[in-house]
Chain A
Amino acid sequence: MPSIVPTFAWLEGLAWTTALRESPYGYPLIETSHVASIVTFAGLVIMMDLRLVNLAFASAPLAQFQRRLFPWQMASFVPSTATGILLFCVDPLRYYRNVFFLAKLVLLALAGLNALAFHLKTYRRAEGWDEDPHVIATARLAGAASLLIWSLTIVSSRLIPNNWFK
């Protein structure tokens, strides 16, 4: 497998990544947007998860609640990811060696798999979704898993600037 380091070095040396790295306005804008959109996205996901595990919004029918929240979760996920990619490109050689950044990527993949599994196995537009015990059980599990994964993702992300492991 070819070494990734030269690719990252090339990426870091590009005119636009350099400009972003040195900018007094661009970088702060991107980083601030990243934090604001993540907090919104993950916050809404956590609200949905709280419904799934029946800790909050218990009176809301599951399928409808999920369907209504989903577009807003996606609307905040897109800028989160876009800004995240930009931030990575600014300093790839530092991030790819950072254990908390790598953990974050793994956790994001797990979150995606969890969401996909839930959607494929139990997603139905029928009104009876809230009465089906199998759906309720699966939903609770998916919600609990999601809560754990996203909590770890946020904690890991916040720890990225620390150089605890060299």
Chain B
Amino acid sequence: MKRNIFLVLLAAGALCAVQPALAHHAFAAEYDPAKPVTLNGIVTRMEWANPHGWIYMDTKEKNGAVKHWMIETAAPSQLSRHGLKKADFTDGMTAVVKGYQGKNDPGLANGRTLLLKDGRSFYIGSVGGPNDGAEPH
């Protein structure tokens, strides 16, 4: 009887051993799924990096002021998988990024889709984001 309980608990426990890998740093902890943003601006820099990339973008506010954004993307392996290349980025190019704003940092965002000037669209989201249908199947 004790052995059966042990086996069941072992099974259940190990079954949940999946988690840390997927949400390596939780979307929920840093970004707000209730604050979607569409950023239309100039890419000042793109860090093509592991464990995730960063798009630095300047957008114009309604009052004409420039706002600086830091947008998190998936790792290079994931970006390549969705067809994006490092060479697709040039400093000073215009682009549109859709994503979610940071919970505590309004200049931070988690990027989900990227639309380039040539009309190509890419999924750039990190694993663990909200279930908004942006991810291609």
Q: Which residues of A come within 8 Å of B, CB atoms?
A: 20-25, 27-28, 31, 90-91, 158, 161-163
Known: A90-B50, A162-B25. A25 touches B20 (CB 8 A): no
Chain B residues with Cβ below 8 Å from A27 are 50-51, 75-76
Which A residue's beta carbon lies closest to that of B25? A161
Tell whether, in the assembled complex, residue A28 and residue B77 are in contact, meaning their CB atoms are under 8 Å apart.
yes
> Number of residue pairs across A and B with beta carbons under 8 Å?
36
Q: Bound state CA distance, A38 and B51, in angstroms?
A: 18
Known: A23-B76, A24-B76, A31-B50. 15 other contacts (CB 8 A): A20-B50, A22-B49, A22-B50, A24-B77, A24-B80, A27-B76, A28-B50, A28-B75, A28-B77, A31-B51, A90-B50, A161-B25, A161-B51, A162-B25, A162-B29
Q: Answer yes or no: B56 CB below 8 A from chain A CBs.
A: no
Jot down 22 A-B pairs with beta carbons below 8 A, ordered by A: A21-B49, A21-B50, A22-B48, A22-B50, A22-B86, A23-B50, A23-B76, A24-B75, A24-B80, A27-B51, A27-B75, A28-B77, A31-B50, A31-B51, A90-B49, A158-B20, A161-B24, A161-B51, A162-B25, A162-B29, A162-B30, A163-B105
